[in-house]
Amino acid sequence: MWSDVKVAFVAGTDIVSQMIYAASILMFVVFMLYGQRIQMYVMIREVENSLRKLKFIKEEGRKTAIETIKEIGKPETDPSSKVDRFLEYFTIAPQSMDPAGIVYKLDHILDVRDSRLKDEVKLMAPASDEVQVNNLENTLEAAMALNFIYRVVRHFYIQGKKTLSLYIIMQLQMILPLVMKEAEAYSSALKAFAYGQPIGDGVGPLVAGKLMHGFETRRVPKDCVVASVPFEGRTALVVKARGPGGNVGKPGDAIKELIEENKGKIANVIMIDAGLKLEGEIVGEVAEGIGAAIGGPGVDAYKIEEALVKYKIPVNAIIVREDIGDAVSPMRKEIADAADSVIERLKSVVQERTKEGDKIIIVGVGNTIGVGQ
């Protein structure tokens, strides 16, 4: 009897083993034939989840912009339709087939864009003053960026799903973590702009504001202010965007005018800005280098470099390391504290690179929202 049970058990084990073996062969065949498609559907599901989150962030951004306009601008009618129209605005870059003069063409286009957006904000928020108009424009531009990110991701998702192209979906899925990080950064920026809070990108203007505090300022083109400040036995012309509204000004025009005013007798130009940190680097870390430390489309950097080359003026740069999220979010304590470290580093640069009695230009580059002049 025991032998019969043993034989039955062995026979049952053989059947189970054969079934497992058959199932593994079947799974191998299925994955050979349909593995790529299964992988693609898994990726599509991940992209769908991110797209839903992006849509929520985009809608929250639109809602925040509308509520802020109603609260600050006191419009007589519902501004929702005007906000929706604003979010769809686009800017066409100038023709670059013949590159001669393209910088000034781009400069003109950007001036027209800035003027148009400010006019639109004034129509939407008639009760707002100049500072509030700048803040509202920044708020709407953050909402516009979120809207654009959502539309681009949706475009590639739909195209990949329609064509069942693994490579479109795979590329989209691979960059989504970075895209989501940027979207969340802009989402954080919305409230900072809406309430006029300083952001990480304002560390340059913060340093300049500390240096020019208590000194008389005057306006220079465009939307910038300058103060003449005694600094380490030198005369420093300290420049920043005009605050406290959300404004980056045009430091290129300001520096160019100051250099021409002084007939090129500037010993050094030192630029202070937020710099994108790499992963593993410390937020608020101060670094020193050479060159025009300024972001954007390149128009201001071109004007600065043109003036510097004309008069052979050296240019130094000091940056505060931060990531994209820090740059557009409310200013972190580490970044605010770094302003004092920048001033100490600035003293070293001035002492090492210039002589007593020299005239220098110090530029705090960045968005001056929440930072007074």
Residues 96, 140, single domain; the answer is: yes
Contacts of 26 (CB under 8 A, 6+ apart): none
pLDDT digits (tens, 9 = 90+) for 167-214: 888 888 889 998 998 898 888 888 888 888 889 889 999 999 999 988
Q: What is the pLDDT of residue 54?
A: 92
Has residue 6 got a pLDDT over 50?
no
Specify if 3 maps to a domain.
Answer: no
Residues 259, 226, single domain; the answer is: yes
3-class secondary structure for 155-170? HHHHHHHHHCCHHHHH
Residues 323, 303, single domain; the answer is: yes
Contacts of 320 (CB under 8 A, 6+ apart): 203, 272, 273, 274, 275, 284, 285, 286, 335, 338, 342
User: Span 283-292, mean pLDDT?
Assistant: 91
Q: Using CA atoms, how far apart are residues 327 and 330, in angstroms rounded to an integer?
A: 8
Task: Look up the domain containing 237 and give its range.
Answer: 200-364
Domain end (from 168, 195, 222): 195
Choose the weakest-confidence range: 6-15, 21-30, 263-272, 305-314.
6-15
pTM: 0.84
Specify if 28 maps to a domain.
Answer: no
Domain end (from 167, 195, 223): 195
Has residue 33 got a pLDDT over 70?
no
Domain end (from 133, 166, 195): 195
Residues 263, 324, single domain; the answer is: yes
User: Span 107-120, mean pLDDT?
Assistant: 90
> Is residue 275 within 8 Å of residue 293, measured between CB atoms?
yes
Domains of the chain: total: 2
Has residue 117 got a pLDDT over 70?
yes
Residues 242, 269, single domain; the answer is: yes
Which two three-digit tokens encode residue 65? 């912009």
pLDDT digits (tens, 9 = 90+) for 47-103: 889 999 999 999 999 999 899 888 888 888 888 888 889 888 888 888 888 888 888
Whose tokens are 């599901």? That residue is: 45
CATH number of residue 356's parent domain:
3.40.50.1470
